[in-house]
Structures are given as structure tokens and as C-alpha cells.
């Protein structure tokens, strides 16, 4: 596909006053008739977007059929010459026929298990009808849906309905990517919400009738989100109804269509027997995320898709704040950093690195990335730290005030902060425009006589594709000082680093303290500093900042694992320090569980590569297993006590407190299984009544290769529950011993219920195998081949999901020559497919570059 550049932006030469759609649904021949009121805003022809799948029956201007001589139609656009158009304003009409049943790409209008639904972001509306399908063209929509199906929905408020039809009106001007339509045999959990100004809003979570008993939690999450946005941001909901619909076939998690959010069913449906604690937390967060988009994304949208992080970074930041508020802020921050490093740092360090605001793309759907989302959120966290809570609130108030109803840019966003706080953000903007993760190096200079500690920082960012020059950025560095005996001698202070190298001095210190660095993970950087295991142990035991405390333990574990993977042994300080954490009853169990969770194999490989050596996946796997076994035997007593003590009595609740206890219990279970051969896991599997404990136990049994009975039981009990069976398909390739994983995955792929056209099922199995580090990177290339073969099969059916999954290959350059050759061969086979989609084509080319 053609490359698009940010610098080429030009405004659309028309405004749309009103958009009117009349949609008569039929699986193979849906008829969409449109009337779009245009008003000229600048010179030029009328160019509309439309996919090759539109069977155009008629085109009219002000009701009169258009003379073919004035109309040029390609597979992608329809152009009407300026001369053929009325001078000021006119109504464009079209009638097209489309085929939702044939739509396996799940973009535009498609069928999911008999439910008609849409996915229009980023450029799906053009598969429904001819339209200026770009986010800066906003219009109110009036939509009539015709179908025999009982529930007919679109955006906005219901206006009228009758036998076989319903009319909806959305008064808020919106771009086409926020359009949605749903028709199906659905049932709702219904409730209402009274907004802060006293308006009553009808709420519905629509699901298939059989799923109705699993939709209550989603409704609770929605109400919580609506209240939170009022309290935290002063944002009120603006329509009479808010509808959520769950569908089984969905390329992503969910979509924030105005007043009609459409969700992947796995992010709506939950019951204790079928969903884990992690599922519950994720459902709550995604419901919040999509709801928060109503202001950050919908009322204020993006001028063009280069600005995607304007809405996504901000909305992720907001959903992270929400979860921190309704659960544990300390635990949430650690989880978010783990995700950021596992996905975004990984992306930033490889061939797919790009800035939060890219300046070019071929296929925009390939840019819904960890960098745009998660790093986009981190950048806002830094801004907030720099301007303070009050400055942040003032800036956001100004943003909503100034830009409501507009399609904006990152420049608009930063200008609001500059105007509200008086701060110059020219240098800060580099966080948006530059790719790569800065490395922050710290060396310390201690002057005992003067009682002075000097911190010497150097920042450096390695070149990334297309960007060799990396000027210094503004880095907010939150530090504290802890004395060797564990007292905090200096509470958190935020240092603002702006130069490539910069010193900061601290006076009046009686003895040399330990530096608690990057508290709260105050900037998305990697840290390079010399520190003894003993100093880390001081922080792990005493730091007042829970993130830095966790980080100290994580660093100790990482050092031990890297040493072991390279033939050495673990520093006994780590094993010992961990004992202190296990025995500290004052700690939040969820926090202890995070400390107990050893760095993942992919993260260890990344660290080894960062330290300048080539990671060996087999050695890494053995090291991690060995360290787990060592910790287990060293702390058997405490772990076994914890396992018993952390049992949660009574009825299941997905709240943070019991969930935290369960996560610690399962962490202990995992370690203890190194000693008891899986006895506790088997007993837990047999007795557990909730899916959290079931899956915790099952993962252990699969790792020990003794899950046969459990898996058979799972299938017998849950064979017809798609979401539970997705877990069945993912836990096996993911947790199996590496040498078994590919054969296990192949056997699963042969099952008749491996419905690979369903994105959840495909991701469970193929993504599950790719998440088994030592199996995916097997020396014989069997892991690479398995994944590549399946991507080749999926690509013609669903290019978006295939392209997204192809990122599992992005780390190939860090491995040895044999593995590199095998990964390259697998990718080249994929690249050579004559019909390879533009989506996957772009990804594979970039990964191989």
C-alpha cells in the first residue's frame, strides 16, 4: 500500500451538515441508502471513500441521478468534478448493496453468530457506503434500521420504531468511524444512571439470551465509570441512553461508538465459574475505557489518524487512574509498568519502533500499538507530574472547554497545557515525535566530609528506524533517599532533567544513603546503575514507594536469572531478602504476589540482549525453572503457610482484596509445585469453585504435564462455553514444557472446535504458543513455522488480526544466527504470499527491514 504522511494533511473541502442513512439488513444483500448534506468549505472536487465491496446502484445529487460523465469510481474512491456540483450546498445520495455474511475481515458491517454489527474504526465505514471517511469530517447522524430481528440499535437516542424498523438520531456531530449499528436477537441487563445535573440515562448491556446471567458485572462497571468521570474530570454523559453490546467475533477488545459501545464478549461476560480475577479487572477497565472515550475521543476527536494517541493515550491514562482509584493504586502502577515493559519497551527496541505520534503509515490499523496506547498514557503521566495535579486539572478543563466538538492534534493538546500553566513544552513534545526508550544512566558521587551526594545522570536513546538523531528529552526523575538502616532521609523529590548529562546534589546527609530512583516509575526509561544486591535488599525491605520497592525485588530476581542463564548462580541475598517479604504480614497480598512473580522469559531475554550478549531461550527457561525451585525449597515453610492462610472463605467476590489474596495463594502454589509434584494443584483443581483458582491450578498441571484429567473435565463441563474454551486453547501451548508445546498446539489446531476464524480462538492458540518463549524460539524453527503457517492461513480471511499477531516475530534480531535464519525464513515465506494483505505485508516488511 501507499505510504501516508502527516505532513501531507489538508482539510476536507466540504462540511457535512447532516448524514441520513436507511439500512435494510439482509445477510447477503443489505441495502444502504444515504443522503449526505454537503456545504462547500474550499475548492476542489467531491471525493468520497468506498471499499471495493460496495455494489453501487445509484448516485444522486439533490435527488437527480448523476450523469456518468461527471463521476469517476475506482475500487477506493468516488469523485465528482467541481463543475458538476452546485456552488454552495447540495445533498449527495447513494444506494449501495453490501454482503455482511461474506465479511470475514470483521471491518464494516458483518455478522457475528447471527448478530449484525459494525466496526468502523479506523476506516471501516467506507465498507458500508460512500462517505468522507476521515475523522475530521463530523456530522449528526439520523439512521433507520430495518430488519425482522427484535433488537435494532444505532448511535444516539431512539426516535421512533415500528414493526421491523427503528429510527435513531445522534445529535452530537461525529466522524464516521464512530458510527455503529446492531441488530440481533438480544436480551439486556438494564438499569439507569442519574447524571450530576439530574438527567436520567437508560443503560443496557445487550447479550445473547443465554448469556444474560453473566452481564451484571459489566453493568456495575459502567455505572462506576460514569460516576467516576463526573467526580474526577467533571464530565457528564450527554445522551438519553447508553448501550453496550457483546459479540463473539471482534478484532480488538471493544469500540467506543457514540452511545453504542460494541464489545468483544470476553470483555463483558463474567461469572465466578467462568471468569478469572484478571478477567474481571480487565472488563471493568475496558468498560471504563470505552465509556471515557465519550469525552476523550468522541466529543473531542482526532484531526487525522496520526493523532491517534491524542484520544488513546489520554483514555488509557484515564482508565488507569480509574482502576487505581477503585482498586489498589500501588498494585495497578506495578501491573501497568510490567505491561509497558513487556509490550512497549519491546516494540521500541525492535524493528517496529515508532513514536507515539507517527509521521507515516501504510495501514493505520497497524498503529493501534503499545506505543500509541501505553506510552501515550505514560507521556500524559509525565506531563501531570511536571505541571502538578492542579495544573493538570486546569489544563483538562481548558481542553474540554476549548475543543469540544472539534477534531484536534497533539499541538492543540500541548497548547492547552502551555496556556493553562504557562509552561513551555517545546522540548517535552519530543516524547510525542521521537521513538525509542531513553536509557538513563546514574553514577553517584559521595562526599562523606561534606555530607553531600551528587547524582550524575546521562540520558541516551539508541537510533530507531528512520530516526538516527535523538536529542535529549525532559525526564521527570522522582527520587527519594533511604538510609542504610532503612529510614527515609529524603522524601520524594522530582528532578527535571533536560540535558544529555546533568548533575543534582543533595546536602546535609549524615551518612551515605541508598537512592530510591524513578519512584512511581516517573518516566518511561530504562535505568542503568551500579548497585549491590545488599543495597537493593535495603530498598526491597524499606522503601516507602511501593513501586521502587517492587522494582528492587525485581532487579534482584533479574540479576539472579541473568547470572543463572549464563552459567552462574543466584546471589543468596535475593533468596534471603524474599524471605523477609514473605514473612511481612503488613504487606498487601497482591503486592507480595507481584514480588514473587519472577520476570518472564521474554523479559529476561530482552535484558540479556540489553547487556550486550545473545540470549539462549533454553538456558533462560532452565534458569527460571531452577530459580523457582530454589526459592521453593528455601522458603517451603513460609510458602506453605501462605498457601493455607490466603485461602478466601465464603462466596466469590471479584474485588481487589480477595483477588489479591487469591493471586498470592496461586503464586505460592506455583512455587510449591516444584516440591509437591503438583499435589496441591490437583487438589485445588478438584475443589475450586471459581475460575481463578481453577486456571491457576490448571496452569501448574499443564506445566508438569499431568493435566490430562483436568483438561478432560474442563471440556466435559465447559465444552459449549466459548470463553472458557478459549482458556482451554491458550493454557496448553502457553504453559506446556517447551519441547511439548508445538505438538500440543498442533493437536489442538486439528480439533473441530478450533474455530480459527474467530479472533479470540485464533489468538488463544496461536498467540498462546508464541507466548511460550522457549517453544516459539525452538532452535529447530518449529515454533516459527507453526505460527507463520497459521498467519498465512488467516491473512486472506482476516488481515487485521493476522497483521497484529505477526508482531510476535518483532524480537527476532536479538537471537543467535541459527534462530535468526529460521525466523527470517518463516517471515519470508509469509512475505512471498502472492495475495498477502497490505496489513500483514507492511508488518512483515518492517519486521524484516
| Contacting positions for Zn ion (CB under 5 A) | 312, 315
Q: Under a CB-based contact definition with an 8 Å cutoff, are residues 304 and 11 in contact?
A: no
Three-state SS for 239-277 is CCEEEEEEECCCCCCEECCCCEEEEEHHHCCCCCCCCCH
Number of helices (H), then strands (E), in the chain: 29, 31
Backbone angles phi, psi at 49, to 5 degrees: -95, 145
Nearer to ligand B3K, 15 or 127 (CB): 127
Which of ligand B3K, Zn ion, none is residue 721 near (CB under 5 to 8 Å by kind)?
none
Q: How far apart are CA 733 and CA 756, in angstroms?
A: 15
Are 674 and 632 spatial neighbours (Cβ–Cβ below 8 Å)? yes
Q: How many CA atoms, within 13 angstroms, populate the side-chain half-sphere of residue 514? A: 26
Query: Least CB distance from residue 218 to ligand B3K, whole Å?
Result: 15
Q: Quick one: three-class SS letters along 347-411?
A: HHCCCCCCCCCCCEECCHHHHCCHHHHHHHHHHHHHHHHHHHHHHHHHHHHHHHHHHCCCEECHH
Distant-in-sequence, close-in-space partners of 426: CB < 8 Å, separation ≥ 6: none
> For residues 700 and 759, what is the distance between their CA atoms, to the nearest angstrom?
26
Question: From the CA atom positions of the chain, what is the Rg in Å?
Answer: 28
557 binds, among ligand B3K, Zn ion, none (CB under 5 to 8 A by kind): none
Instruction: Give which of 660, 650, 646, 731 is closest to 695, Cα–Cα.
Output: 731
In terms of CB distance, is 370 or 578 closer to ligand B3K? 370
Distances in Å between the Cα of 230 and the Cα atoms of 236, 239, 241 are: 6, 15, 17
What order of strands is seen across the sheet that includes strand 439-447? 501-506, 452-460, 439-447, 526-529
CB 802 to ligand B3K: min, Å: 13
Q: Find the shortest distance in angstroms from Cβ 726 to Zn ion.
A: 22
124-129-132-134 Cα dihedral, nearest 10 degrees? -10
Q: Which is nearer to ligand B3K, 61 or 288 (CB)?
A: 288
Comparing CB distances to ligand B3K, the nearer of 170 and 312 is 312
Closest distance to ligand B3K from the beta carbon of 230 (Å): 20
232 neighbors 175 (Cβ within 8 angstroms) = no
Q: Is 315 helix (H, G, I), strand (E, B) or coil?
A: helix
Give the per-residue SS3 of 650-700. CCCCCCHHHHHHHHHHHHHHHHHHHHHCCHHHHHHHHHCCCHHHHHHHHHH
Answer with the entry of ligand B3K, Zn ion, none that 211 interacts with (C-beta below 5 to 8 A by kind): none
Residue 117 in contact with residue 245, Cβ under 8 Å? yes
* Catalytic member of 123, 290, 374, 693: 290
Residue 560 binding target from Zn ion, ligand B3K, none, CB below 5 to 8 Å by type? none
Q: How far is the CB of 402 from ligand B3K (least distance, A)?
A: 23
Binding partner of residue 368 among Zn ion, ligand B3K, none, CB cut-off 5 to 8 Å per kind:
ligand B3K
> Minimum distance between the CB of residue 247 and ligand B3K, rounded to whole angstroms?
14
Q: Which is nearer to ligand B3K, 120 or 562 (CB)?
A: 120
* 840 neighbors 791 (Cβ within 8 angstroms): yes
Given Zn ion, ligand B3K, none, residue 252, with its beta carbon under 5 to 8 Å by kind, binds: ligand B3K
* Measured CA angle at 601 (ends 599, 607), to 5 deg: 75
Provide the minimum distance between the beta carbon of 252 and Zn ion in the complex, in angstroms, as a whole number: 9
* Residue 122 partner contact from ligand B3K, Zn ion, none using kind-dependent CB cut-offs of 5 to 8 Å: ligand B3K
Residue closer to ligand B3K by CB (options 267, 558) is 267
What is the rounded CA–CA span in Å between residue 12 and residue 40? 9
Rounded CA gap, 170 and 179, in Å?
Answer: 10
The item of ligand B3K, Zn ion, none sharing an interface with residue 20, based on CB under 5 to 8 Å by kind, is none
621 binds, among ligand B3K, Zn ion, none (CB under 5 to 8 A by kind): none
Contact partners, residue 453, CB within 8 Å, separation at least 6: 444, 445, 446, 447, 481, 505, 506, 509, 512, 513, 515
In angstroms, give the least distance from the CB of 302 to ligand B3K.
Answer: 10
Q: Which is nearer to ligand B3K, 413 or 591 (CB)?
A: 413
Residue closer to ligand B3K (CB basis): 256 or 545: 256
- The answer to whether the CB of 111 falls within 8 A of the CB of 102 is no
Which option in Zn ion, ligand B3K, none does residue 604 bind, with CB closer than 5 to 8 A by kind?
none
- Smallest distance, Å, CB 203 to Zn ion? 20
Q: Which is nearer to ligand B3K, 315 or 772 (CB)?
A: 315
Look at residues 101, 225, 214, 123 and name the one whose alpha carbon lies nearest to residue 176: 123
Answer yes or no: 290 catalytic. Answer: yes
Name the site residues for ligand B3K (rule: CB under 6 A). Answer: 121-122, 252, 254-256, 289-290, 293, 312, 365, 368
Beta carbon of residue 255, minimum distance to ligand B3K (angstroms, whole number): 5
> Smallest gap, in angstroms, from Cβ of residue 287 to ligand B3K?
11
Question: What is the side-by-side strand order in the sheet with 260-264?
Answer: 187-194, 200-207, 241-247, 260-264, 254-255
Among Zn ion, ligand B3K, none, the one that 9 touches (CB under a kind-dependent 5 to 8 A) is: none
Q: Which is nearer to Zn ion, 312 or 347 (CB)?
A: 312
Q: Which is nearer to ligand B3K, 122 or 590 (CB)?
A: 122
Catalytic annotation, residues: 290
Amino acid at each position: 500500500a501507499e505510504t501516508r504522511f502527516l505532513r501531507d494533511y489538508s482539510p476536507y473541502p466540504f462540511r457535512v451538515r447532516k448524514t441520513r442513512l436507511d439500512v435494510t439488513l439482509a445477510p447477503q444483500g443489505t441495502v444502504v441508502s444515504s443522503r449526505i448534506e454537503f456545504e462547500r468549505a474550499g475548492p476542489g472536487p467531491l471525493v468520497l471513500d468506498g471499499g471495493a465491496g460496495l455494489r453501487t446502484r445509484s448516485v444522486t445529487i439533490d435527488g437527480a441521478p448523476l450523469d456518468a460523465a461527471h463521476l469517476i469510481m475506482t475500487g477506493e474512491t468516488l469523485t465528482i468534478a467541481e463543475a458538476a456540483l452546485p456552488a454552495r450546498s447540495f445533498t449527495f445520495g447513494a444506494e449501495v448493496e453490501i454482503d455482511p455474511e461474506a465479511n470475514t475481515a470483521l471491518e464494516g458491517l458483518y455478522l457475528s453468530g447471527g448478530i449484525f454489527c459494525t466496526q468502523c474504526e479506523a476506516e471501516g465505514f467506507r465498507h458500508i457506503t460512500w462517505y468522507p471517511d476521515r475523522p475530521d469530517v463530523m456530522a449528526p447522524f439520523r439512521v433507520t434500521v430495518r430488519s425482522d430481528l427484535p433488537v435494532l440499535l444505532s448511535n444516539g437516542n431512539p426516535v421512533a420504531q415500528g414493526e421491523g424498523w427503528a429510527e435513531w438520531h445522534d445529535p452530537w456531530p461525529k466522524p464516521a468511524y464512530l458510527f455503529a449499528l446492531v441488530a440481533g436477537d438480544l436480551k439486556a441487563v438494564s438499569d439507569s444512571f442519574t447524571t450530576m445535573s439530574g438527567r436520567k440515562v437508560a443503560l443496557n448491556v445487550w447479550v445473547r439470551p443465554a448469556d444474560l446471567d453473566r452481564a451484571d458485572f459489566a453493568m456495575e462497571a459502567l455505572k462506576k465509570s460514569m460516576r467516576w468521570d463526573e467526580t474526577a474530570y467533571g464530565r457528564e454523559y450527554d445522551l438519553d441512553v447508553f448501550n453496550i453490546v457483546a459479540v463473539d467475533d471482534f478484532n480488538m477488545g471493544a469500540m467506543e461508538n457514540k452511545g453504542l459501545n460494541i464489545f468483544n464478549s470476553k470483555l463483558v461476560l463474567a461469572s465466578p465459574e467462568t471468569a478469572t480475577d484478571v478477567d474481571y479487572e480487565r472488563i471493568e477497565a475496558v468498560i471504563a475505557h470505552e465509556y471515557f472515550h465519550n469525552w476523550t475521543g468522541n466529543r473531542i476527536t482526532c484531526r487525522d489518524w496520526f493523532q491517534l494517541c491524542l484520544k488513546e493515550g489520554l483514555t488509557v491514562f484515564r482508565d488507569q487512574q480509574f482502576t487505581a482509584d477503585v482498586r489498589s493504586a500501588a498494585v495497578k502502577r506495578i501491573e501497568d509498568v510490567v505491561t509497558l515493559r513487556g509490550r512497549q519497551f519491546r516494540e521500541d527496541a525492535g524493528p517496529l519502533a515508532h513514536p507515539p505520534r507517527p509521521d507515516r503509515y501504510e495501514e493505520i490499523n497497524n498503529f493501534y500499538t503499545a506505543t500509541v496506547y501505553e506510552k501515550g498514557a505514560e507521556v500524559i503521566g509525565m506531563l501531570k507530574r511536571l505541571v502538578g495535579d492542579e495544573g493538570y486539572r486546569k489544563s483538562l478543563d481548558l481542553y474540554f472547554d476549548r475543543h469540544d466538538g472539534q477534531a484536534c492534534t497533539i499541538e492543540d493538546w500541548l497548547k492547552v497545557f502551555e496556556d493553562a500553566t504557562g509552561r513551555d513544552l517545546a522540548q517535552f513534545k519530543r516524547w510525542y515525535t521521537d521513538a525509542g526508550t531513553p536509557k538513563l544512566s546514574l553514577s553517584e558521587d559521595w562526599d562523606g566530609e561534606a555530607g553531600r551526594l551528587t547524582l550524575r545522570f546521562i540520558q541516551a536513546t539508541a537510533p530507531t528506524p528512520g530516526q538516527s538523531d535523538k536529542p535529549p528529552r525532559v525526564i521527570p526523575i522522582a527520587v527519594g533517599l533511604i538510609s542504610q538502616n532503612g529510614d527515609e532521609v529524603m522524601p520524594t523529590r522530582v528532578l527535571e532533567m533536560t540535558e544529555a548529562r546533568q548533575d543534582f546534589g543533595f546536602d546535609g546527609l549524615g551518612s551515605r544513603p541508598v537512592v530510591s530512583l524513578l519512584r512511581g516509575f516517573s518516566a518511561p526509561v530504562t535505568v542503568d546503575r551500579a548497585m549491590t544486591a545488599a543495597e537493593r535488599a535495603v530498598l526491597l525491605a524499606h522503601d516507602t514507594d511501593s513501586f521502587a520497592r517492587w522494582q528492587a525485588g525485581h532487579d534482584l530476581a533479574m540479576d539472579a536469572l541473568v547470572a543463572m542463564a549464563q552459567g552462574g548462580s543466584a546471589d543468596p541475598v535475593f533468596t534471603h531478602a524474599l524471605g523477609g517479604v514473605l514473612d511481612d504480614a503488613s504487606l498487601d497480598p497482591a503486592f507480595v504476589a507481584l514480588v514473587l512473580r519472577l520476570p518472564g522469559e521474554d523479559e529476561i531475554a530482552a535484558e540479556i540482549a540489553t547487556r550486550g550478549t545473545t540470549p539462549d531461550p533454553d538456558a533462560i527457561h532452565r534458569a527460571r525453572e531452577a530459580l523457582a525451585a530454589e526459592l521453593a525449597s528455601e522458603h517451603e515453610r513460609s510458602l506453605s503457610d501462605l498457601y493455607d492462610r490466603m485461602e478466601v472463605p465464603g462466596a466469590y467476590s471479584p474485588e481487589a482484596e480477595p483477588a489479591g489474596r487469591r493471586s498470592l495463594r496461586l503464586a505460592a502454589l506455583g512455587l510449591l509445585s516444584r516440591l509437591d509434584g503438583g499435589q496441591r494443584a490437583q487438589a485445588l483443581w478438584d475443589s475450586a469453585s471459581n475460575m481463578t483458582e481453577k486456571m491457576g491450578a490448571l496452569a501448574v498441571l499443564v506445566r508438569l504435564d499431568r493435566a490430562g484429567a483436568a483438561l478432560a473435565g474442563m471440556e466435559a463441563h465447559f465444552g459449549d462455553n466459548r470463553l472458557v474454551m478459549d482458556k482451554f486453547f491458550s493454557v496448553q501451548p502457553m504453559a506446556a514444557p517447551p519441547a511439548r508445546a508445538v505438538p500440543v498446539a498442533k493437536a489442538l489446531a486439528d480439533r473441530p472446535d478450533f474455530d480459527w476464524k474467530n479472533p479470540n480462538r485464533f489468538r488463544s492458540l496461536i498467540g498462546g504458543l508464541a507466548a511460550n518463549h522457549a517453544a516459539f524460539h525452538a532452535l529447530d524453527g518449529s515454533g516459527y513455522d507453526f505460527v507463520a503457517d497459521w498467519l498465512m492461513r488467516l491473512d486472506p480471511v482476516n488481515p487485521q488480526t493476522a497483521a497484529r499477531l505477526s508482531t510476535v516475530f518483532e524480537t527476532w534480531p536479538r537471537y543467535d544466527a541459527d534462530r535468526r535464519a529460521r525466523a527470517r525464513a518463516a517471515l519470508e515465506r509469509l512475505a512471498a504470499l502472492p495475495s498477502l494483505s497490505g496489513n500483514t505485508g507492511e508488518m512483515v516488511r518492517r519486521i524484516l527491514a
